Amino acid sequence: MSSALTTASSSSSPLSSKSCYNSDCKELRPDRSRKGWRLRTGDFAELCDRCASAYEEGRFCETFHLNASGWRCCESCGKRVHCGCIVSAHAFTLLDPGGIECMTCARKNVILPLNPAWPPSLLFHSALPDRLKELSVKNWSQLAGSGPVPWRQAPSMFNSSLPSGELHHRAPYEVDISAALNKLNTSERLPVSLEKRKNEDFSERFLNGSLKPCGQDLCENGTAGGIKCDDKPSSCSNMPKQSSFVKEDSSTMQYGLNIPYAPPNEPSARGRISGTHLRPTPLSSLPKQIHTNLQNGADSSNETQLRNGRPRGESRGKNYLLPRYWPRFTDQELQQISVDSNSVITPLFEKMLSASDAGRIGRLVLPKKCAEAYFPSISQPEGLPLKVQDAKGKEWIFQFRFWPNNNSRMYVLEGVTPCIQSMQLQAGDTVTFSRLEPEGKLVMGFRKASATADQENETNKTKNGAPVHGDAELADPNSWTKVDKSGYIAKEVLGAKPSISRKRKNSTLGSKSKRLRIDNEDMIELKITWEEAQGLLRPPPNQVPNILVIEGFEFEAYEEAPVLGKPSIIPPDNTGERIQWTQCEDCLKWRKLPASALLPSKWTCSDNSWEPERSFCSAPQELSTEQLEELLSPGNSVAPVKKMKAAKLEPDNVEALEGLDTLANLAILGEGEASQTPGQATTKHPRHRPGCSCIVCIQPPSGKGPKHKQTCTCNVCLTVKRRFRTLMLRREKKQFEKEAETMRQRHKFQDEMFPDRSMDEESLTCSNTSTSKLMEEGKMNDGSDEDPNRNKPSTSPFKGQIDLNMQPEREEELSPGSDSGSMMKMLQDTGDRFLEQQRSNSGGTRSSSSDPLEPGGEREHKGESSSNVIDLSSNNLDADKDHPATLSLNPSASMSTTG
DNA sequence: TTTTCGCATGGCC
DNA sequence: TGGCCATGCGAAA
């Protein structure tokens, strides 16, 4: 071990140029040295003849590391294999049950595919010892899902029928380590804080079980289910020194970041490295062939050739996955997936959805290498159904298939639309694929673009302006950073983002697929009216606006963009003192401030540095009620003070969002706060004065206040009842129209069947039937209106008198029975009246009126289209439940009557 | 007419 | 320069 360490350490601090790179060799190398293994710098160890010969003959470890730690015995042949240094890193493979197998045995036992992710050129230079070439398979495909995935059986991991030169499987974790050290050794140390954060993150992740840390497993000699490493902890610390995979392969550098750097020959450092700070490799560089072969255990190199019509070797060196597909799972994402499972999550890959992917076609184009690596092998274009589980555990079945394309294949997942929609994904969002081990389930997660944006922002902060130099730099493991709510995540420089920024002009996020990166929650938060937004905009200080008139509206135009700030009221300048009034976020008291003061959105009394005596909430409000009333009058620049909730409950919004149900619920909300504090009530609504009794101003905050009795006749209840009735009336109208249409069709049918029926009879029957049913369901038992054909006024006190425009007080007078308990009675009468109108005024337009008390009343009543009715009714099915005695018309019942 | 399917094209890496 | 892949487009359903 010590020699290995020394060897490795020499890579970071090479000996003098004249010394043999092998620190165990005391000889000076000749001027013309021979090349040994590749260093992390990309150069090669320059060896003396003797060492070079030993290396090339595969005797290096036996010669120089014989007494080092890390020697283990092949489980098959018993041959000792050095597992602890860079030179022998590819001389063995790890076995599922633990232990190792020399590559000779490994190749005898299985057919091991090539690992093109680690192109030979990147792994070993041309002078790679033949023996090592032959043996240089190191299988870490456990990482890639060696679990009991039907299409990927563990033994096949070791399959290889490919040229020895391509047998350079790399353990992704190994890559991490070496890459990390490489990176770190090349003076790209992380800033302490960042490094610390990363360490914390990955420690957390490993410790919480969401992922099996390489380090742990590595050092535990390969326990089932995790990543196996057949070396002692000490040798784990050697792993980073296996630096044969370096800069050419950016993928090898990507994930190594997370290893805290420590000089390899420091014991303490070793412990750290071998510990829990290794980030699970996202398998970005896992070769496709390995997976292809893993898929069915068969020799898939042939398969591969079949697929592409050419040997895989042609694409050698490009087989690692593009950075944009590297999985960059956040802790949160991982935990979401594993929340109900003790499974180990193996991140596979991810893809940012293109417009096509997220479109209605329902085809998700899969990166070819990912598809071939992680999905079942398919030989027919039709492919096969693939069961994928989403993060919530719901299973989806997609058709995994391919299209022949330019002698290649284009892999797609078909039928993803429902899943995409259920995840509410759009172009620009990212879907992630991972595998649950040991179940082998394929798990599809997602990441919204907004999260990525956050991530990117965070990245930018963290990056601190460091330059980005292409892919190698993009793959810089340093780019792992932390996202506010998702834990660590790869910086976007890792792939997707740079791929966007540098992306083809009309590709993935072209103009048509751009989206505003706002999460739903954010959208909700931002769901403010234009007016509110305007109210939040503060003109730049000391700026005189230019008044523009656009389409009849005046706009203030400023040289500088307005800023978002605390809404305030700047009253007319009568005294020469320009002041503004604003409201404390905590106590809601109004405070006077200089007009030029730009206030934070969360301004409180404590921020009142202009008036220290009123810099605390207990200080009395300077404004009297009258003054405040005047201040809040429409003449002033009314700020949308504390009206967000109110705005959400404005009638229009109520209708749109919650509709009838909300209205009904309002009846049981407390009026205390609302009606008892008219001064405050107006603050909910910018256009209303104190004392306004509109439904906006009178309503209490949602969920507050005592429930009202059904007999309550307070303003709130009356208003709600009235509006409820109005809404129900419209609903009935809609239903009636529907019913009428149904009946018309049925009569048409009957007319065909019974041509001797007269039209009058039909229409009579129709009306009769509908109304009868109406009466029946509405339990209209006044006894005087049995025959609607007579068009006889109801005996109800307000039959035919319902005035949608009436004021609650008047309504109360007119309808002695119109307390809350008689709401249905009113509804019945309303429906009755409506039917009468329908009969007497076929197709006539009902005169509508507005409720002067209701701010939304005009829109609600005047010229209201049926669409509004539809919305209301459709949005308020609960209303039916709450009021089963609505005046519904039952077509079937009508039919029975008619028939 | 619309949707789906399969392939082809072409830009980008 | 070759491969990948986003997307266009025509044929089929």
Strand B proximal residues, A:484-523, Cβ < 7 Å: 499, 502-507
Nucleotides of strand B under 7 angstroms from a protein beta carbon: 4-13
Question: Residue A186 CA to nucleotide C12 C1', Å?
Answer: 59
Q: Which residue is nearest to nucleotide B12 (CA to C1')?
A: A504
Taking the C-alpha atoms of residue A714 and residue A174, their distance in angstroms, rounded to an integer, is 74
Taking the C-alpha atoms of residue A893 and residue A873, their distance in angstroms, rounded to an integer, is 21
- Report the nucleotide nearest the CA of residue A357, measured to C1': C6
Highest mean pLDDT: which range of A129-133, A268-272, A838-842: A838-842
**Using one digit for the tens of pLDDT, what is the confidence trace for A515-569?**
333 333 333 333 344 444 455 555 555 556 666 555 455 555 555 554 555 667 7
Question: Residue A44 CA to nucleotide B11 C1', Å?
Answer: 38
> In terms of C-beta density within 10 A (0-12 exposed, 13-18 middle, 19 or more buried), how is residue A526 classed?
exposed
- Report the nucleotide nearest the CA of residue A507, measured to C1': C6
Question: Residue A405 CA to nucleotide C7 C1', Å?
Answer: 14
A 10 A CB-CB count for A537 gives 15
Q: Give the orientation angle of helix A866-874 with respect to helix A659-666, to 10 degrees.
A: 70
**Using one digit for the tens of pLDDT, what is the confidence trace for A441-499?**
888 888 777 655 555 454 444 333 333 332 322 223 233 222 222 222 222 323 333 33
Q: Which residue is nearest to nucleotide B8 (CA to C1')?
A: A405
Residue A891 pLDDT grade (very low, low, confident, very high; cuts 50, 70, 90): very low
Q: Which of A93-97, A207-211, A253-257, A434-438 has the lowest mean pLDDT?
A: A253-257
**Using one digit for the tens of pLDDT, what is the confidence trace for A303-321?**
333 333 233 333 333 345 6
- Report the nucleotide nearest the CA of residue A362, measured to C1': B4
**Using one digit for the tens of pLDDT, what is the confidence trace for A351-403?**
888 888 888 788 888 888 888 878 888 888 888 888 888 877 788 888 888 88
Q: Which of A124-128, A811-815, A886-890 has the lowest mean pLDDT?
A: A886-890
Q: Which residue is nearest to nucleotide B3 (CA to C1')?
A: A361
Question: Residue A504 CA to nucleotide C9 C1', Å?
Answer: 21
Residue A351 and residue A368 in contact, taking contact as beta carbons nearer than 8 Å: no
At A719, list the tokens. 């208003």
**Using one digit for the tens of pLDDT, what is the confidence trace for A217-276?**
333 333 333 333 333 333 333 333 333 333 333 333 333 222 222 333 333 333 232 222
E strand residue ranges, A383-453 = 384-390, 395-405, 408-414, 430-437, 441-447
Question: Residue A41 CA to nucleotide B4 C1', Å?
Answer: 52
Q: Which residue is nearest to nucleotide B11 (CA to C1')?
A: A504
Residue A750 pLDDT grade (very low, low, confident, very high; cuts 50, 70, 90): low
Taking the C-alpha atoms of residue A616 and residue A597, their distance in angstroms, rounded to an integer, is 18
Question: Residue A294 CA to nucleotide B6 C1', Å?
Answer: 29
- Residue-wise DSSP of A228-273: ---S-HHHHTTGGG-TTS-TT-THHHHTGGGSPP--TT-HHHHHHH
Which amino acid appears at position A257 of this protein? L
At A849, list the tokens. 């009126």
Residue A98 and residue A221 in contact, taking contact as beta carbons nearer than 8 Å: yes
Question: Residue A473 CA to nucleotide B6 C1', Å?
Answer: 39
Nearest to A218 by CA among A209, A227, A206: A227
Give the alpha-carbon dihedral of A713, A716, A717, A723, to 10 degrees: 130
Taking the C-alpha atoms of residue A394 and residue A476, their distance in angstroms, rounded to an integer, is 35
- The structural domains of chain A, ordered by start, are 2-152 (no CATH), 172-288 (no CATH), 530-631 (3.30.40.100), 715-898 (no CATH)
Nearest to A597 by CA among A557, A542, A559, A638: A542
At A288, list the tokens. 């496709």
Paired strand residues for A593 = A580
Question: Residue A411 CA to nucleotide B1 C1', Å?
Answer: 30
Q: A71 phi and psi, to 5 degrees?
A: -80, 135
Nearest to A639 by CA among A575, A708, A569: A569
- Report the nucleotide nearest the CA of residue A501, measured to C1': B12
- Report the nucleotide nearest the CA of residue A361, measured to C1': B4
- Mean pLDDT, chain A, whole residue set: 50
Question: Residue A745 CA to nucleotide B1 C1', Å?
Answer: 27
Q: Is the CB of A322 under 7 A from strand B?
A: yes
Residue A869 and residue A733 in contact, taking contact as beta carbons nearer than 8 Å: yes
Q: Is the CB of A404 under 7 A from strand B?
A: yes
**Using one digit for the tens of pLDDT, what is the confidence trace for A764-790?**
333 343 333 333 333 333 333 333 333
Residue A52 and residue A40 in contact, taking contact as beta carbons nearer than 8 Å: no
Q: Which residue is nearest to nucleotide C7 (CA to C1')?
A: A356
Find residues whose C-beta atom lies within 7 angstroms of strand C: A 308, 310, 314-315, 318, 322, 325, 351, 354-357, 363, 365, 367-370, 405-408, 410-411, 427, 506-508, 510, 512-513
What share of chain A has pLDDT > 70, as a percent? 27
Q: A345 phi and psi, to 5 degrees?
A: -95, 130
Sign of CA pseudo-dihedral A117, A121, A122, A127: positive
Residue A576 pLDDT grade (very low, low, confident, very high; cuts 50, 70, 90): low
- Report the nucleotide nearest the CA of residue A399, measured to C1': B5
Which amino acid appears at position A209 of this protein? G
Exposure pattern of A93-105 as b/e (b: 16+ CB <10 Å)?
bbbbeebbbbbbb
Question: Mean pLDDT throughout A179-196?
Answer: 32
SS3 A34: strand
Question: Residue A445 CA to nucleotide C13 C1', Å?
Answer: 33
Question: Residue A371 CA to nucleotide B8 C1', Å?
Answer: 21
Question: Residue A330 CA to nucleotide C1 C1', Å?
Answer: 38
**Residue A732: CA atoms inside 13 Å, Cβ hemisphere, count?**
33
Q: Is the CB of A381 under 7 A from strand B?
A: yes
- Residue A844's contacts (CB-CB under 8 Å, 6 or more residues apart) are A837
What pLDDT does residue A676 have?
A: 33
Would you put residue A73 in left (φ > 0), alpha (ψ -120 to 50) or beta? beta
Question: Residue A75 CA to nucleotide C5 C1', Å?
Answer: 44
Taking the C-alpha atoms of residue A843 and residue A805, their distance in angstroms, rounded to an integer, is 22
Question: Residue A589 CA to nucleotide C2 C1', Å?
Answer: 71
Nucleotides of strand C under 7 angstroms from a protein beta carbon: 2-8
**Using one digit for the tens of pLDDT, what is the confidence trace for A585-619?**
778 888 888 877 777 767 788 888 888 888 888 88
Does A99 have pLDDT greater than 70?
Answer: yes
What pLDDT does residue A387 have?
A: 84
Q: Which residue is nearest to nucleotide B5 (CA to C1')?
A: A361
Q: Is the CB of A361 under 7 A from strand B?
A: yes
Question: Residue A360 CA to nucleotide C7 C1', Å?
Answer: 13
- Report the nucleotide nearest the CA of residue A504, measured to C1': B12
Which amino acid appears at position A204 of this protein? E
Question: Residue A407 CA to nucleotide B8 C1', Å?
Answer: 12
Taking the C-alpha atoms of residue A714 and residue A720, their distance in angstroms, rounded to an integer, is 10
**Using one digit for the tens of pLDDT, what is the confidence trace for A724-739?**
666 667 666 767 777 7
Q: Is the CB of A410 under 7 A from strand B?
A: yes
What share of chain A has pLDDT > 90, as a percent? 0
Nearest to A647 by CA among A601, A614, A695, A693: A695
Give the alpha-carbon dihedral of A661, A663, A666, A671, to 10 degrees: 180
What pLDDT does residue A717 have?
A: 52
A 10 A CB-CB count for A426 gives 20
Q: Which residue is nearest to nucleotide B6 (CA to C1')?
A: A403
Q: Which of A320-324, A431-435, A620-624, A625-629 has the lowest mean pLDDT?
A: A320-324
Taking the C-alpha atoms of residue A155 and residue A507, their distance in angstroms, rounded to an integer, is 40
A 10 A CB-CB count for A440 gives 17
Question: Residue A181 CA to nucleotide C1 C1', Å?
Answer: 35
Residue A125 and residue A35 in contact, taking contact as beta carbons nearer than 8 Å: yes
Cis-peptide into A788, omega within 30 deg: no
Residue A666 and residue A720 in contact, taking contact as beta carbons nearer than 8 Å: yes
**Using one digit for the tens of pLDDT, what is the confidence trace for A277-288?**
223 333 333 333
What pLDDT does residue A820 have?
A: 35
Q: Which residue is nearest to nucleotide C6 (CA to C1')?
A: A507
Does A131 have pLDDT greater than 60?
Answer: no
